[in-house]
Structure 1
């Protein structure tokens, strides 16, 4: 699974509790670290469309440190970085006033917990104490007007980056699938040749085979303890990936008749990452060169749930790779960079037949064209595979319980914080249930 916004806030709260219980030997260090907490909170609240006015009173720049309050500032900053990385569709969640109120209250409560540390290290009637008390007062007001009963909702499910991984083989699979997808995303589609796309087609076929194998073992394992609904969904998933694999096989045949370059070996970063993913899958399903039995591969229900999460990440990554392969093929066709056998073209358009004259030997056996009807079989196979992978991805998402917010799109321009959105203050926390 991927680290979510709610996970980062939970980690920040733990850092705040540790900071509140810590002691500084040097008072100036506590003040400097608190300045970093205020700066990080101001940026975080700015992404939540609120201006933290007390932060304007701190003139000196904040410095990063590894002390308790410094770690709290980094944890708060991680949450704002996640919000900054969201695409436009996910950023629309920041228009929900109730979720905004809950998120602001959570961030304010976290910073307010850390404020106990700096207040305990400063003397009364000093400038540092007055600034800390002003910031605490504003934070307390935000925290008091939060929505503890409603929670963060979909806002808390926002995510960025790759899935969390630990040292065991099963946890490494989602991470490596994400690396494969991101490596493919970093390649400009205009730079791809047919040998690169042939490699991509083979990668998709291979992934579909592994996913089908995992789904079969989930169904065959007597220890998985999956519900009837999940077993039915797994059957649909198997059919979808098998259809996608069949489409990839037909795509591979089409690439033999539609070329942009001579045969050769590709060296794209995505292929390197895919080989890493395939090695990890091999190590999981056949650690000693022999396929594991279903009850050995999936020994209990907890492992079955984790395998469903692995399938979800792998299928989603394969869908993204297939969609980009579609775009790359469209670029090759539109730019006239694909060679088509003259024999195939002449079957649809007699004007391309060899002319019976003395220059027959000089007429090429291959020609270039931008007419889409000569690539109908190729584009249809690409669309078939991508569409069935999309169906499989939807099924896998339901099986694993993954939300769309955990999958932000890439390649979006950097966003700027939305304008401030000041919410009406609630009269009292206990009166929230009587609000319209």
Structure 2
């Protein structure tokens, strides 16, 4: 007896049917058009990276989600006490930023300065699958490498909000914070410097577990005293909802030790984005350990999480070059954007419906002529009941058809699908 094979995709992945791909193509085309208008150049990087690079300590919680690849040439069995590190040499990328920094380090001499990079491609994380969260998903990134001023942040925010609007995502809010502010907050609270990374990772969970959960984790896992935790919570709460125009003064008064550059950069963003809805969010952390300055996320009322995010990472490229390079980037959550759009804009698609006795030269000639109008045209053989086949064509996305018979001359009469009196 023949056993039927399992045809379902791997858990956390999915097949995409033509209508779903049409939406994705529409979103990517609109985003690409906007980013090219801002001068970003498309590059590609490999899916596989050396495991040491992916484990380099800058990926935050995502380092726990790396899909690791076994070395080639391993024996079918290995000793029970063999360390995992001896079996693995590659991994699938968990974002596009780490590969970009390697790319820039290898190709800097042949790239324009500053370099505006645009990437689109799949990434992999061993996530727990949920709505809007997949183990294989696509990211769409822009980055500026070599620009040290806040011009980079302003341009990234302007370009990305424009790209989202062009794709059909209106009503977004940009949330802005700064890793230097978070460091000043940690120092102000009295938290020991060695606890800061764990402190930030816990604060990043605030929107998921609330203040009660954050307080408990800061005490139990991070080991902070109650007074330190109270200071952190009170400071953050006091800064929430601050008028962007008053933000620099409010920050300076609340945290006297905050760097002047933090205040200047936030003021630059406020002045440079008059048409963008943005707010300072002192609870924003972002999980990646490589951020060094401003961080930001874009939210939408219909999405359960952010639809885009990024920040400045001035130290990451230096790990490959030996000298630091100012860098700032923004990543669009492509899957979440697509999920917010029910359909792609309608496109004209014509079916050249031909009988079996129609000469192939006639079918192909008619299709060529129809394509001259810029529409999608495909020959389809007649089969079954005529009305039922027209219904199937409509389900498949065709908007009109031409019916060819052996005696057809010229293109023939084109009729809309869905019209009565076929």
TM over 0.5: no
Q: Which has the larger radius of gyration?
A: 1
Q: What range describes the TM-score normalised by the shorter chain of this pair?
A: under 0.3
Larger relative strand fraction = 2
Larger relative helix fraction = 1
> TM-score, normalised on structure 2?
0.23
